[in-house]
Amino acid sequence: MGQPVGVFDSGVGGLSVLRAIREELPSEALVYVGDSGNAPYGDKSHDFVQGRASTITGFLIDQRAKAVVVACNTATGIAVELLRSEFPNVPIVAIEPAVKPAASRTKSGVVGVLATAGTLASPNVTKLLNTYGVDVEILTQVGVGLVEQVEKGELTGKRTRSLVEACVRPLIERGADVLVLGCTHYPFLTAEIQAVAGPEVEIIDPATAVARELRRRLAAAGLLAPGGARGAEHFLTTGDRETASPIMSRLWGSPISVERM
């Protein structure tokens, strides 16, 4: 395997970003780490999240990663500056809630942002909301319980629907016509979120933008894999491998082998 691109998340949610990267860059080798043993990050301390982000990034670079994608909004908000100072020679591409495009696309003037408590409390996201919340109203909502449902692979069902209802309905009732998915786990619940929000509400997932930015950064550094064969994929978890394998296979869309990190 050539030098891979490393991707990590607090758990299985970052597979939504990995999927977009695979589509955009079919020839790149990919290594994914899901820190499911410590998920969710949203309710953890800043020091804890920074420590995990630094440890996993170091691990990926030890695996010869030529670039690292932080596929976790909470880790981006809390740790990305630290990672860029600790690992200055490796391009680090990070995800953040797509508030800017949402602000330009709302017709009602009201945007809803669904994210974890940790993401919404981070300085980066506070700055984002202040920057783009001048001309539009930005409502924020903690997606209580949603990460846990995705980690368990429960993407539908009564419990999942009631959690989605509790998070999404208040935003819609206050006029939001665009919803920003500010956690990489949430795209796996898009069908449930859309069902509650209604067909006229636009849902924005920033994964495609991250994949394009990764392509741009790799090209600028002369690191793009040559075209041709599909790149290999390597999946790791810090959680229980037996539990993670079927859930990650389902979210990825085909059977995969998951190793323990």
Active centre residues (catalytic)? 72, 183
Q: How would you classify the pairing of strands 5-9 and 30-34?
A: parallel
Enter the tokens of residue 155: 């993407």
What are the C-alpha distances in Å from 198 to residues 100, 151, 192, 212? 22, 25, 10, 29
- For the packed helices 207-220 and 15-24, what is the interaxial angle rounded to 10 degrees? 50
Amino acid residing at 123: P
CB burial string 43-60: b at 16+ within 10 A, e below: ebebeebbebbbebbebb
- The β-bridge partners of 113 are 140, 180
Q: Which H or E run contains 135?
A: none
